[in-house]
Amino acid sequence: MVKCAVNFSYSSLLFIIGLITLAGCSSDEKPPESGLSPEKMASILTDIHIAESRVSRLQLKSSDSSLMVFNKLKEEIWKKHKVDTMIYRSSYDYYMMHPKQMSQIYEEVNKKIDKQEISKNIQP
């Protein structure tokens, strides 16, 4: 009789662990309502990477100067996309926790950058 109770408890425990595991895996794949869509995130990240490249090409001697220029460019990006840093940051954090979606976003970023390089005849 005790053996049956132990098996039942063990089986119940395995069942509960399985449910918890499945519940953890079946997360909602959409960003939070107040967050940025993958398309919008790709556009913003494209502009950020282009801004980083622009600052790098300036070859400023001081990292403080580079940071000041980059921060100014980021402010322009936020205005262009009508987004604030809090929404961007929370969306970025969300996508970092969902690597498959972030990978898809970066595939789009790469396409956008390649397209701009071709259209402007820019050498990588």
The tens digit of pLDDT for each residue in 72-121 reads 999 999 999 999 999 999 999 999 999 999 999 999 999 999 998 888 76
Domain boundaries, the chain: 31-119
Joined tokens for residue 84 = 């604030």
Find the mean pLDDT for residues 18-40. 65
Averaged confidence pLDDT in the chain: 81
Residue 8 scores a pLDDT above 50? no
Q: Identify whether the C-beta of residue 84 lies closer than 8 Å to the C-beta of residue 69.
A: no
Q: Identify whether the C-beta of residue 48 lies closer than 8 Å to the C-beta of residue 74.
A: yes
What pTM, to 2 d.p., does this model score? 0.71
C-alpha 2/C-alpha 55 separation (Å) is: 72
Weakest-pLDDT range from 6-15, 46-55, 58-67, 94-103: 6-15
